[in-house]
Structures are given as C-alpha cells and as structure tokens.
Amino acid sequence: MTITNVKHSKQIDRAMEAIEEEKKGLDQAQYRLNYHFMAPANWINDPNGLIQHNGLYHLFYQHHPYSVDWGPMHWGHATSSDLINWQHESVALAPSEEYDYEEGNEDIGCFSGSAVSNGDEIALIYTGHVIGKSPKEVQAAAFSKDGVHFNKAEKNPVIKSPPEGLTEDFRDPKVWKHNGSWYMVVGSSINGNGAIPLYKSKDLLEWTYMGVALNGDAAQGDMWECPDLFPIGDKHMLVVSPMNMTDGKNIIMVGEMDYEKGKFIPESVKEIDEGDDFYAAQTFEDERGRRILIAWMDTWKTDFPTKDEGWAGAMTIPRQVVLRDDQKVKLLPVAEIEDLRENHTSYEPLHLSSNELVDINLQETLQHSYEIMINFNLTEANSSGRAGLQLRTSADGTERTEIYLNVKTKELIVDTTLSGEKSHKSIRKAKVDVENNLSLRIFVDTCSLEVCTTDGETWITQRIYPDPKSMGINVFTESTEVLIEEIQTWTLKKVID
C-alpha cells in the first residue's frame, strides 16, 4: 500500500467512527423517511457513481459525516440487490490528498462524479476541490477490486486544470464507454453560460481534450453542474443541473451525439421535475438495460428542518427514463417500487359535485408512507374550477397539502403554502396534456411528496414537514363537477434506516 492509501484509509476510519456516534438515537427522529434513501446520519447531497456492477447496485453520495451542514465532502456508499433495500457500506472516498484536502480549510473534498465497471474493478472518477487553490477543481480517479475499499490513483489528478477559455468551475465528471473508448463530460461554463467540455481516454488515466460538446444559452443558467450524457434508443440525452437558471433546476435534452466532432446537438429540452426539491440528477444503465435516474430530493435553495434531528438530505425514488417517439422523455417509477406495497384498498367510482370535500378515511391505514393512484374523469368538468386531493391534513383542515388540476389552465398544481410551519411554502405548477382524464401516482413519505402523471411525463417533487398527527386525505372540487373513476392506495413499507 502506498502512503497515499494509508492517509486515505485513516480519514475513512475517522469518518466511520463519527457516523457510528452521530447515528445514535436517530431511529427515534420523527421525520426519518421510510423508503427514501438517507445517510445513517448528518448531511448528504448529490447522488454519485450510480452503477450496477456484477449484479449489485451501488449508490454513492456527497456526504459530510461530521455535521448536519455541508462541509469537507466525502463519498458515502450503499449497495442494494433490488434498488429499494439499501445496505450502508464504509465511506468510499475521504479528502486526503493535496488535490482534495487542505489542513484547516473547510471548503474542500471529493466532489461529485461517476462510476464505471473497469473489468473486475469499479472506477470512481470525481472532482478534487480545494477552495483557494489554483485551479480549485481537478479530476481524479480511484479504483476498487472489492467494491468497498477505494485506492486513489497515483497519477491523480488525471485532469490537472480546466481547458483554456473555461472558468475555474470545472466539476462533476460523468464517464461512459462508446466503441471501446472512455468519454467524459465535465460541468463548467464559458462566457457566463453553461458548458460541457468533453474528453476521451483509453485507460481512465490519460485524457485527451476534444472541445466543448455543448454550450448553453443565456436562459439556461450560468454554470452547468452534474452533466450526464448517455445513449438511449437511437438518440443521446443530456441531463444538466444549471446554476442560476430562472425557474429551472434540472433539464434534460434529447439530441444527437457526433463522436467524431465531439459535439452534442440538442433537439428538444425540458425540465425533468417541476418541484422545488429535485437537483443533481444522475442516471446509469442497469444490467437489464434500463436507464435509471436518481436525484437529490432537496436543493440548495430550501431549508432543512431535519437538521434539528441530526440529519439532512435524501434521494428521490429511482425513476426509469424512457424515450418515446424519439423526442418524448418520460420518467416511470421503477417497477421494484411496487414491492414496497402493502394493505391495498380500492374505492368505487366517486362522483363529486361542485364544491365538495370528501374524507376518504384512510389515515389509520396509510399513516405516513403510501402510494395513491387516482384518476379524474373530466368529461363533465367546467372549463374553470379545480379538482384534486388534500393530503397530510390536520383534523381541523387548517394544515394540508393540495394536489389538484386547474381545469382552465390545464396545470397540475402542488400547493405547500399550508403544509406546516416548517415546510417550504410554494405553489408549483406544471402544464399537463389532459383531454378527458388526469391520472396520477402520488408517493408520500414522512416528509416528502412525489407526484407524477401516470404516463410519466410530468413530475413535481416537494419536501413537506407537516405535524406527524396531520394524516387526513380528502378529495375535493371547486367550481366544477368531477368523476373520480379510480382511487387505489397502498401503504409503502419501511425499508430504510
């Protein structure tokens, strides 16, 4: 073992001791989630290094093991055989070298990146970040044969500085293989717009710069974090997390990749999820050929009331990315989510006249984590008015979260303005393509809400922090009639600690 690895493994031992200590008592915390991935304790942000390697799924993530606040970045690690039950593993990467560590400097660490299977090994490619250094961000690699202990490469940093003309913000490498060569895109910016420089390599250690694969426009933020470029069907998709984009956080583009010229040519673009709490999405292809996406179910812009309990940050449910008709991007909850289901209930069709509120009386069964499938038949709906549900409702109805369709504007709306004192108050709106029908799947956990149209086209993800006693579920109409053709519900099992 080299000196490098001794230093690294000492930092990992320290981090693991801290986590053992910090996780004590957390099983009593009221907002711990039941089926969304969280760290054993303390701070997490982006998912990193998503991969299925030799059958096993790996989820790495940005982690600060010493505190509920962001700090020197480590890579936490968990594994799973089914994408829903996760086992915590030893911290995979800790700051330890001059390119990712500096004594006394708190703004350092192993920033986001990706994983690839390199023969029997897993290779992690990440950004070494040391604020105050020039350049502050470089790309580094680490390898593991057992999938748990990672050795940082002697040749690090494998990319020592950003290409000329790009800013010092140069992070979050995403690596994939095409025709026997490795390719990497990195998040960066040129002249105040997002950009993704592209590199090519034979061995993950020597990288050749191929130019900027895509430069965003002024409406798409001033720096692109966490780029992810991948083939799907006959097309390629690009996911980026733009900084400072007005009302946008994570976009997905469909287009063509010209590997000869090193250019990605976008043909369409859309927001992946219209909620407030969705950022730094990353995808991977699993061994069944599915393209799966997981995002941080928070953002830099919202508060973290769970810090008071000793933890902050979680991941969305895994969503399968599907491309239809070469341009339509859909995200479907992975089929494995259905294995969480228990206690099925199904309602008879329910006709609501205008201005009705009906308690569907399921709070005792469903508690805090459940799925609802609901279908609104709108053939009799007035051209104005709204119809939807209220969740996590208090006995007197003053605390509630509303999910509804505005019939006139054809918008799906999630309103958290009354979701509880600690909740981020907002009204998120997404255009939906509805004619006579709105069909929704709604995933509720202790302090989260993911709503999607059943066709997977529209998603709104919100963290909410209602009083644990607020558990009521109502359906309602305002200035319109509606036929609710289907209400099915399931409790979703607790599988996460």
Give the C-alpha separation, 479 to 435, whole Å. 18
* Strand partners of residue 231: 236
**What phi, psi does 335 have (nearest 5°)?**
-55, -30
Please list every residue from 328 through 387 that binds ligand FRU, using CB under 6 A: none
Q: Supply the minimum distance, in Å, between the C-beta of residue 451 and ligand FRU.
A: 23
62 forms part of the interface with ligand FRU (CB under 6 A): yes
Give the C-alpha separation, 394 to 400, whole Å. 7
For residue 399, give Cα distances in angstroms to 112, 355, 447, 470: 37, 19, 14, 7
198 forms part of the interface with ligand FRU (CB under 6 A): no
Nearer to ligand FRU, 171 or 441 (CB): 171
Give the C-alpha separation, 391 to 416, whole Å. 10
Nearer to ligand FRU, 121 or 225 (CB): 225
Kindly determine how many residues on this chain lie close enough to bind ligand FRU according to the rule CB under 6 A. Answer: 13
Give the C-alpha separation, 362 to 92, whole Å. 42
Nearer to ligand FRU, 127 or 201 (CB): 127
Q: What 3-state DSSP class applies to 441?
A: strand
Give one DSSP letter per residue of 148-203, joined into a string: S--EE-TT--SB-SPPTTS-S--EEEEEEEETTEEEEEEEEEETTEEEEEEEEESS
130 forms part of the interface with ligand FRU (CB under 6 A): no
Figure out which of the listed residues 11, 45, 306, 419 binds ligand FRU, where binding follows CB under 6 A. Answer: 45
249 forms part of the interface with ligand FRU (CB under 6 A): no
Residue 138 is encoded by which pair of tokens? 């470089």
Q: Supply the minimum distance, in Å, between the C-beta of residue 169 and ligand FRU.
A: 8
235 forms part of the interface with ligand FRU (CB under 6 A): no
Q: Supply the minimum distance, in Å, between the C-beta of residue 167 and ligand FRU.
A: 13
Nearer to ligand FRU, 169 or 399 (CB): 169
Q: Supply the minimum distance, in Å, between the C-beta of residue 137 and ligand FRU.
A: 8
Nearer to ligand FRU, 108 or 418 (CB): 108
Q: Which of 65, 85, 84 is CA-nearest to residue 74?
A: 65
- Is 396 a known active-site residue? no
Give the C-alpha separation, 370 to 360, whole Å. 14
Please list every residue from 144 through 173 that binds ligand FRU, using CB under 6 A: 171-172
277 forms part of the interface with ligand FRU (CB under 6 A): no
64 forms part of the interface with ligand FRU (CB under 6 A): no
Residues that bind ligand FRU (CB under 6 A): 45-46, 62, 73, 111-112, 127, 171-172, 225-226, 279-280
Which residues are designated catalytic? 46
